[in-house]
């Protein structure tokens, strides 16, 4: 196979878009990050618990559904608090590091 300058230039030009940096790299994208997805899921669990509690008070829902929804909400809040505590602990550990 013979390589010519024009073939090499054409191949390089075709490959360049694949190696170009992403112009949106480093910018936070709403909803595309894992944190955004987790925050949305957390909010959905809390909304479901509030809806189940309101429906039960109005007599439109089963009390067992309310207990289940409130248990899920409690678990979500406890998990969020545990993650927050770990993040704060890690931050404080970094602050204690000698420079």
Model confidence pLDDT, tens digit, residues 44-76? 999 999 999 999 989 888 888 889 989 999 999
Model confidence pLDDT, tens digit, residues 2-50? 567 776 667 666 665 655 666 666 565 554 688 888 888 999 999 999 9
Domain chopping of the chain, boundaries: 30-96
pTM above 0.85, yes or no: no
Q: How far apart are the first and last CA of the chain?
A: 57
| HSE-CB for 61 with a 13 A CA cutoff | 18
* The pair of three-digit structure tokens given for residue 41, joined into one six-digit string: 């899921």
* The pair of three-digit structure tokens given for residue 35, joined into one six-digit string: 């944190």
């Amino acid at each position: 196979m013979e390589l010519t300058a024009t073939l090499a230039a054409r191949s390089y030009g075709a490959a360049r878009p694949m190696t170009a940096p992403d112009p949106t790299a480093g910018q936070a994208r709403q909803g595309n990050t894992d944190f955004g997805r987790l925050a949305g899921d957390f909010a959905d669990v809390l909304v479901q618990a509030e809806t189940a509690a309101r429906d039960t008070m109005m007599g439109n829902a089963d009390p067992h559904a309310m207990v289940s929804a409130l248990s899920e909400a409690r678990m979500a809040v406890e998990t969020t608090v545990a993650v927050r505590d770990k993040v704060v602990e890690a931050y404080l550990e970094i602050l204690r590091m000698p420079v």
